[in-house]
Structure 1
């Protein structure tokens, strides 16, 4: 029977979500069935970003990658100040640790091409033997206050003209235009969208959709790559040849997503847009018009549902509170965008200074990701980031502007 029965990293108050500059406090819990000789027990708090993707050029295979170190702090919790080996006795032991997270830091992020990842790793350093390791993931949420950004209440718009070609004949254009009620949002709020499609071509627009797009730019050492992910969508009708159609005041909810990120990570940029998507015939490239938006973590205080200007009878009650205190880009659709789950992680102590429901935290829409170091490291092997989510229902967005 192994002498090391339990070896875990735990955090005070069961917290796993932290903000830059906050103090991270926890314990290393160890249970031994036999005494163990060791040099020390140390803790390393790590933040790093990584991008990597494969490309095939004929018979040549290329892997593009890059890394960025975001933070690293080392703490010795047992064996401090001694060069002698120590012996830890049989039984349960708890070693507290704490550190102050640096600021600024980008928010945690995971996808199949890149990540921004934070974790706490504890190591039992043993003389002349393999070390024991255990790891616990944490989520860092950067604070993007929309009240400090410019023009967040201004509408955003985008348009595109698409020409269809058949042999030497040019048909069109198909014109798409999209306008949003404003530019800045937080997850849980509803974007109000107006769309116009004017089909001057000889082909039918098979169907239309309005989609919230996450636009991620990855910077490898020798090359960059931009991918557009469809995170939420609603479908509209078709548009026949030589006809036009419009959709007014369409509402689409922002799912649990990380804040817009263009500042604190050198190798991953995260931006957002609302897109009008005209689905064309199989041999044609679809119509896509983008209205850029910003997703933050602190909402705009002048909105009626936060400022108290709205009729109290239609004020929504949050339904999920925490129970504890480039044009060439690839497009990937997320078919599970509406299936994210509520989590009961503690709320960070944030005071917005205006009327606002306490945010809950929800799992990221992309699901679990493999964070396993090797088969010998204990602790977390999968991880899902959690993001701020203001659980307004749709009636909060029926106000008159």
Structure 2
């Protein structure tokens, strides 16, 4: 029978930790028998990693695939617990821990190409052998230096007008206007926007799609240390409205998106990161009768400075109560 029956990490369920905040928890160690000279410790680890295959030499007489990758260590802290008299009797033992996350961390993130992850790991070692180990992954929301005041200064209006051909020789114009009171948000916040559609055709517009996209750019290196970059986009949120806008008519649609509680922050273009992010709200009118569509792209900025931490925690609490 092994000496260690189990080792557990006790943390609040589904907690989201803000960069710069503290992690308070317990390590619960259960022994089947007495353990002499144990080392019981807990570690806080944060890492980032990107990797993809890329073809090089395609424009020459040869081509081959190389692996491009990059990695970063964001935090590594260790706390070793004091064991009185250097032995533990059979039964359960509880160890309290308090660990601080550094400020200015990137958010937890995962895709096919890149990952940013954080975990707390507890272990029990006896006579240089690891007897038990447990790892719990954390959700961490990053912070940035950008300030919340930007949100009040930048109302947005995006207008797209397009001439549409249909029924062989018929033509008309559709104008799509998207308006927002601000362009800067924090994770967990509601994004409210108004879409105004002017239908100057003799056809009916039945469907309008609203989607929020994250555009990621990854920075990596080949085995010969040559710099490479790779772009990828993903759809985070999506809504579809059945508008039924009749011919030569105008309709307004007010929509709301609630942002996820954990989001990568918008990146500063002057300081490229291993994983850089930008966000875009896209409003699309599908026109099956003309085999075309109209798109309005609205750039959004996601920030979370320490000044926003109170608003962020309020948004998180309201979301958990739903």
What's the TM-score, normalizing by structure 1?
A: 0.59
Aligned length: 301
Q: C-alpha distance in 2, partners of 1:135/1:357?
A: 26
2:267 is the alignment partner of 1:262 = yes
Within 5 Å, which residues of 2 pair with 1:151-300? 151-152=151-152, 154-159=154-159, 176-186=176-186, 187-196=188-197, 207-221=207-221, 222-237=228-243, 246-259=250-263, 260-262=265-267, 266-279=273-286, 286-296=293-303
C-alpha change, 1:151 and 1:358, in structure 2 (3 Å) is: closer
Q: Counterpart of 2:44?
A: 45
Following superposition, the deviation at residue 49 of structure 1 comes to 1.9
Structure 2: which 5+ runs fail to align? Answer: 166-170, 222-227
Which structure shows the bigger proportion of residues in strand conformation? Answer: 2
Following superposition, the deviation at residue 56 of structure 1 comes to 7.7
Q: Counterpart of 1:148?
A: 148
2:72 is the alignment partner of 1:68 = yes
Structure 1 range deviating more: 98-107 or 274-283: 274-283
Q: C-alpha distance in 2, partners of 1:250/1:274?
A: 14
Following superposition, the deviation at residue 77 of structure 1 comes to 1.7
Structure 1 range deviating more: 99-108 or 61-70: 61-70
In structure 2, the residue corresponding to 1:211 is in which secondary structure?
strand
Following superposition, the deviation at residue 108 of structure 1 comes to 2.4
Following superposition, the deviation at residue 265 of structure 1 comes to 8.7
In structure 1, the residue corresponding to 2:81 is in which secondary structure?
strand
Following superposition, the deviation at residue 292 of structure 1 comes to 1.5
Following superposition, the deviation at residue 277 of structure 1 comes to 1.2
Following superposition, the deviation at residue 245 of structure 1 comes to 6.0
Structure 1: which 5+ runs fail to align? Answer: 166-170, 302-349, 362-387, 393-401
Q: C-alpha distance in 2, partners of 1:140/1:192?
A: 28
Please say if residues 189 and 391 of structure 1, whose CA atoms lie closer than 8 Å, have aligned partners that are also in contact: no
Q: C-alpha distance in 1, partners of 2:303/2:319?
A: 10
Following superposition, the deviation at residue 248 of structure 1 comes to 1.6
Q: C-alpha distance in 2, partners of 1:268/1:2?
A: 43
Following superposition, the deviation at residue 272 of structure 1 comes to 2.5
Q: Counterpart of 1:359?
A: 315
Following superposition, the deviation at residue 127 of structure 1 comes to 3.5
Q: C-alpha distance in 2, partners of 1:62/1:295?
A: 33
Following superposition, the deviation at residue 40 of structure 1 comes to 2.0
Offset from partner CA, 1:179-201 (integer Å, 9 cap, x none): 2232234535241222336688x
Following superposition, the deviation at residue 155 of structure 1 comes to 2.1
Offset from partner CA, 1:50-91 (integer Å, 9 cap, x none): 2334568999555443222111112222479x9xxx553311
Please say if residues 28 and 94 of structure 1, whose CA atoms lie closer than 8 Å, have aligned partners that are also in contact: yes
Following superposition, the deviation at residue 2 of structure 1 comes to 3.5
2:114 is the alignment partner of 1:114 = yes
User: Rg larger in 1 or in 2?
Assistant: 2
Q: C-alpha distance in 1, partners of 2:313/2:19?
A: 22
What's the TM-score, normalizing by structure 2?
A: 0.71
